[in-house]
Amino acid sequence: MSNYLVKELMVPLSEYATVPEGSTLFDAVLALEKAQEEFDHTKYKHRGVLILDKDKRVIGKLGQLDVLRALEPKEEGLGEINGLNQFGFSSNFVQKLRQQLLMKATPFKDLCSIASRLRVEDFMQIPSEGEIIEQEASLEMAVMQLVTGHHISLLVTRDKEIIGILRLTDAFAAVFHTMKECEL
């Protein structure tokens, strides 16, 4: 067993970006920027925002990819392009088709403006069972959960209450540190 426990590696909820449900994506981005400025002084920046209900319980996670998803143009045909792969078209062809349709799509700035007003609940991910870990769990346990579930973070609980977040980068830094210790 490693010497590290999850609670020693996690970022406490109070230092992480959070927004109440009903917030817009723009509110979430501002909260992330604020958290990065106030709490996050490591070279690995916070990359997500947690969504809290009125009782301050975590109900979802909003990652960078979720925000980008909100920027996807909604033009007719663009959604269907993704389905072309099943019909055996090459990636190059699909890419070309996507480019052609993007030329006619809503300008990117307009998309950003529209997306900033959308609600976080429509894009957040609801944490699955495999994304939750007890604060007393070991680093090995956390690594296993991150790897098997392809997660970029885990929500850390104490008595079933979420108290922090264990980021992939924090787990990796601890693993890296352990490796170096072994070599010395």
Instruction: Please report whether residue 96 would count as binding another protein according to CB under 8 A.
Output: yes
Query: From the CB of 114, what's the least distance to another protein, in Å?
Result: 25
Chain positions 29 to 48 lying near another protein, rule: CB under 8 A, are none
Q: What is the DSSP letter of 2?
A: -
In our burial notation (b when 16+ CB lie closer than 10 A, e otherwise), range 111-139 reads: beeebbebbbeebbeebeeebebebebeb
Query: Closer to another protein at the Cβ: 76 or 183?
Result: 76
CA distance 15 to 46: 10
90 binds another protein (CB under 8 A): yes
Q: Which of 54, 88, 159, 160 binds another protein (CB under 8 A)?
A: 88
Q: What distance in Å separates the CA atoms of residue 100 and residue 176, rounded to the nearest whole number? A: 44
- Site membership for another protein, residue 93 (CB under 8 A): yes
User: Site residues (CB under 8 A) for another protein?
Assistant: 77, 80, 84, 86-90, 93, 96-97, 100
